Structure 1
Amino acid sequence: MEFGLTRQEASIYQCLLGEGKVTGYEVAKLTGISRSNAYNSLANMTEKGASYLVEEGTTRKYVPVPLEEFCKNRIRRLEESKKWLVSHEPTEKTHLEGYITIEGANHILDKMRNLLSQV
């Protein structure tokens, strides 16, 4: 899910990794997800780069993008987005006095790590 898949898509991706080439119907049976939701999720996963559609005659089957490849592709897209954001970042106009409030253990740890890396 950290790589942009919904919980349902992540479950289906895990199924594809274990089963290999399967139909939407087979995915629905193996995961317990309704067929309509399975087919919608598979279509979304193909758009997101997590699966490939293989047409064998009249049968449409799905295969997973290998895990390492999927992760590299997602990280590469994030790096490209980061470069764009940095190059288009607006300049700060004024400095506000005071302090910020950060909530949540992960956000606090992220801020601490970023501050420590600047020291």
Structure 2
Amino acid sequence: MDQLLHHLRHLGFTEMESKIMVELARQGSGSGYEVAKRLGVSRSNVYATLQRLEQRGFLRCSPGEPAKYSMLKPEEMTRMISDQMHSSLAYVERSMPKSEPEKPVFYNIEGDKNVFENLGRELAAAKHEIVVDVWREEAELLREDMQRAEARGVRLLWSCEGGEGALDQPMPLPGLPISGTGRKFSLVVDRRWCMLGMRGNSCPTQAVVTEHPVMTGLLLSHFAQDLVLYELEQDMGRELENRYGRRYADIAARYWSSFSPEEQ
């Protein structure tokens, strides 16, 4: 009984409507006076509810004095409710105002506490993959968050500049010099959210955060290129170094020097 009333209310009927419908279905038919007496409620409330249910088509009313009310068969009632709900859902789908989706935004975060709190929330919410490109100092600060994510089954891809020992099996990759005295870091979570920032020495901790697909795509592409170069270096070793110089410095110098801030 209670479960039936619960589901009727879930379908949009009031508590009084639900009780009257169940009572009429049990008894077959009844007048307003009889229903009110069996339910122990006021006749005025019952009469008003019976009239409302009849107008909506869920009750039949027989002529005579007093009028007798009866419920539809259960399959008729549920079919009527289903048709009404489908009609309403179709109307809502057609008529609901449609707005353009919000464009991804960029926002800045400053200060160690703010940057790492923001980052910690995203790492804790990661479901599929985390891509990390950091220096040894930042890797140590993120160690526990990344280990917890990996324990949840999140795929972890990372590279670490500045020496070994930050995490198990670190992967130092070829890098280019950057302006300023800080250490750059970047992270991409689930290929939708990313943070790119700088920290350390005399450089205040600052980061840019966005879900813009262009930025996440650029960071993932840069990371993949570094991995390719790393694997080539591991595979070709001395031959690659002899031809292009350690860490490909000869090649990098051709392009990076033309963008050096000191020469601008």
TM-score > 0.5 by shorter chain: yes
Structure 1 residue 59 and structure 2 residue 66: aligned? yes
The residue type equivalent to 1:67 in the other structure is P
Partner of 1:86: 93
2:18 is aligned, of 10, 34, 50, to: 10
Q: Give the gaps of 5 or more residues in structure 1.
A: 99-119
- For residues 34 and 97 of structure 1, the distance between their equivalents in structure 2, rounded to whole angstroms, comes to 58
Q: Give the gaps of 5 or more residues in structure 2.
A: 1-8, 106-264
Larger radius of gyration: 2
Partner of 1:19: 27
Cα 1:21/1:96, change in 2 over 3 Å: farther
Pairs aligned (count) = 97
Partner of 2:143: none
Give the RMSD, CA atoms, in angstroms: 1.8
Query: Any residues of structure 2 matched to 1:61-80 within 5 Å, and which?
Result: 61-80=68-87
- For residues 91 and 9 of structure 1, the distance between their equivalents in structure 2, rounded to whole angstroms, comes to 36
1:37 is aligned, of 26, 42, 45, to: 45
Cα 1:37/1:93, change in 2 over 3 Å: same
Q: Deviations over 1:77-118 (max 9, x none)?
A: 1101111221223222241659xxxxxxxxxxxxxxxxxxxx
TM-score, with structure 1 as normaliser: 0.73
Report which of the two has the higher share of helix: 1
Runs of at least 4 residues off by over 4 Å: none
Report which of the two has the higher share of strand: 2
TM-score, with structure 2 as normaliser: 0.35
Higher relative contact order (CA 8 A, sep 6+): 1
Percent identity, aligned pairs only, is 27
Deviation of 1:43 (Å): 0.8
